[in-house]
Amino acid sequence: MIKELINGKTTACVASTDRGLLYGDGLFETIAVIDGTLRHWPRHLSRLQAGCDRLGIPAVDGRELAHECQALAGNAARAVLKVIVTRGSGGRGYRVPEKTVATRIVQLHDWPVFPPVCAETGVAVRVCKTRLGDNPALAGIKHLNRLEQVLARQEWSDPDIMEGLLLDAAGYLIEGTMSNLFLLRDETLLTPDLHRCGVAGIMRTRVLELSEQLAIDAHIRPVEMKDLREADEIFICNSLIGIWPVIAVDSSEYEKGVVTARLQNLLDSCPDTGNSWRT
């Protein structure tokens, strides 16, 4: 990590009574900083606030948080901001105390080094054995209960496999451990419905918008392994990697597709700066 602010102060210490630690009682965002700009800031803030609403954590002061993020990001050419908001300290039991003061953590990390081949040629992924449990009350938001992702990511160490795909208990495809999933079938884009589990990624929404600009039909619906097997194109996306074509799922090979490339090009040429934030 490069530097950090916790509740506005330079420290790396969180209270051992923080409910983020005790129960994973909080939320996070992972934000790309490019040329000192917080990419998709309003979208990240909006998802964070939606998560707070869902968990009953008092709303974050968006202006204050933005200023802290910008103070850390400075003029960084490329960096990653991780924002964590927890319910704060209180109680040994699950019951939420009447008054809680949220903990606000902002961390600036180095930009991860992705081999250029990932975006250009595409990546190999695997289907994980670890399944996502259904929980509509937690679906969509980016909360701190991430053991399923940790267990899934432990399933492989082969550095050539860049992502693992996760199914729910019923066998539907939901997402990658750190990304959202898109398939193209019969010239229609498909991405899994996330009403029962999964994280609704900022880049997923952006891809759906871009597909509209390109007049590509896109559907959000339950996605089966059959859809994956019969897909003409597959890609994964998140705020840091953008769009990566998938050219192998376990032993099945796929071509990097034309639609995937068109979406990548449009994403590169439309940085969505009106939706970013800079002082």
Q: Residue 228 Cβ, how far from a second copy at the closest point, in Å?
A: 22
| Active-site entry in 29, 68, 86, 142 | 142
User: Does residue 28 bind a second copy (CB under 8 A)?
Assistant: yes
Per CB under 8 A, the list member of 34, 50, 62, 153 interacting with a second copy is 153
Residue 9 near a second copy by CB under 8 A: no
Please report, for residues 38, 202, 227, 270, the alpha-carbon distance to residue 209 in angstroms, rounded to integers and kept in the order given: 19, 11, 22, 11
Count other Cβ atoms within 10 Å, centred on residue 262.
14
Burial class (CB in 10 A: 0-12, 13-18, 19+), 80: buried
Q: Is 147 in the site for a second copy (CB under 8 A)?
A: yes
Rounded least distance, CB 57 to a second copy, Å: 10
Per the residue annotation, which of 175, 177, 191, 233 is the catalytic one? Answer: 175
- Footprint (CB under 8 A) of a second copy, residues 69-98: 80, 82, 84, 86, 92-96
Number of C-beta neighbours around residue 32 at 10 A? 22
State yes or no: is 30 an active-site residue: yes
Single out the residue of 2, 15, 59, 258 in contact with a second copy (rule: CB under 8 A).
15
Kindly name the residue from 30, 103, 177, 191 that is annotated as catalytic.
30
Chain-centroid distance of CA 109 in Å reads 16
CB-based contacts of 115, cutoff 8 Å, min separation 6 = none
- Nearest CA to 71 out of 114, 130, 9, 145 is that of 9
**Binding region for a second copy (CB under 8 A) out of 25-33, 39-47, 228-236, 242-250:** 25-33
Figure out which of the listed residues 17, 121, 213, 273 binds a second copy, where binding follows CB under 8 A.
17
Among 2, 8, 12, 221, interactor with a second copy by CB under 8 A? 12
Long-range pairs of 133-137 with CB within 8 A, sequence gap ≥ 24: 133/168, 133/169, 133/197, 134/168, 134/169, 134/170, 134/196, 134/197, 135/196, 135/197, 136/195, 136/196, 137/54
- In angstroms, the CA 252 to CA 214 distance is 28
Q: Does 193 bind a second copy (CB under 8 A)?
A: no
What residues make contact with a second copy under the rule CB under 8 A?
1, 4, 6, 11-25, 28, 30, 55-56, 80, 82, 84, 86, 92-96, 105, 107, 109, 112, 130-138, 143-154, 169, 177-178, 197
Catalytic residue set: 30, 142, 175
